[in-house]
Amino acid sequence: MQYNNDSWKPCEMKKQQQRLTLLFGAIALAGMAVANDAAAQCSRETLQTLADTYVQAQKAGNAGMLPLAANATYAENDKAMEITAGVLTEALTVDFTRSLHDTTQCATFTELVAATHAHPYVIHTRMQATADGKVAKMESIVTDDGDWVFGAAEHLAVTRTENWDEIPADKRDSREVIQAAADAYLNNWGDPELPVPHGTPCSRLEGRISTAARDPDGQQCTMGAFPEKLNVGNRRYLIDEAFGAVVIFHSFPWLDAGIPKDPGTPASQLFRVEGGMNRYIHEVTVCTTPGCSRGRPPGPPPAPAAAQ
């Protein structure tokens, strides 16, 4: 951080100390949340196999390919249903996937883009697994035309070029630090004065819109304030320290004008965190009315990414 010593006043220092206290408090709370959510641990290989099986099942449109534990549950856009009644029954042309694995919680996540399918989708799927690799709980955020700034082709063009390589072991952040960086972003929606650790560069990908188009080397993750303060609840986490990643399934308040403000509409935020700072943020959000019938937050709108 750079500043002019001559203009650094005691009151400004006090504000900075308060902001740091809030951030470190968020890290402590994040550690508690991770501990509370933790289930039986399992191997990365087990989770990778399950994620690969999920992708093949989606390509085939055959939910029966997934190994289900007794009493397994499935939800699509926060609605409980039989797994054979959802998008898994549709054989998709899958253009891209990115999977992350949480060996502490025994859970796996996949970002799936079907841009060239006759009916394009961008899907975020989280699976809680048993130690032997069966699905205990599965939930998907399924977005398509009419959802928040949806555009599978544009989304594909951006996500496939981003660097989500494995982070060297000696440079990895802890689970608590990774979650705190992501939580700070969502907490800021309720209090725009709260600090958010965005790195440089940093870019957001919301549906078809990438803020990297403005300045690929700049910090383009800061959002303008919403018209009112939002309390983002119903958060479910998956953290992969090896890739500096955390995905948060949650309810997005206010955005969808077709439903009550709270708790809001189903959404998912995927973060890449490097050195405690946000590098990439992906958002998929479901709308019950076309485009959710809301405008964007104040501030310059990001330029749309060019499809490739």
Average pLDDT for residues 11-22, to the nearest whole number?
A: 44
pLDDT digit string (tens) for 39-57? 468 999 999 999 999 999 9
Contacts of 45 (CB under 8 A, 6+ apart): none
pLDDT digit string (tens) for 225-283? 999 999 999 999 999 999 999 999 999 999 999 999 999 999 999 999 999 999 999 99
Nearest partner of 179 among 2, 76, 30, 15, judged by Cα? 30
Is residue 307 very low, low, confident or very high in pLDDT (cuts 50, 70, 90)? Answer: very low
Average pLDDT for residues 79-89, to the nearest whole number?
A: 97
Residue-range domains of the chain with CATH = 44-144 (3.10.450.50), 169-290+299-308 (3.10.450.50)
pLDDT value for 40 = 66
Average pLDDT for residues 99-124, to the nearest whole number?
A: 98
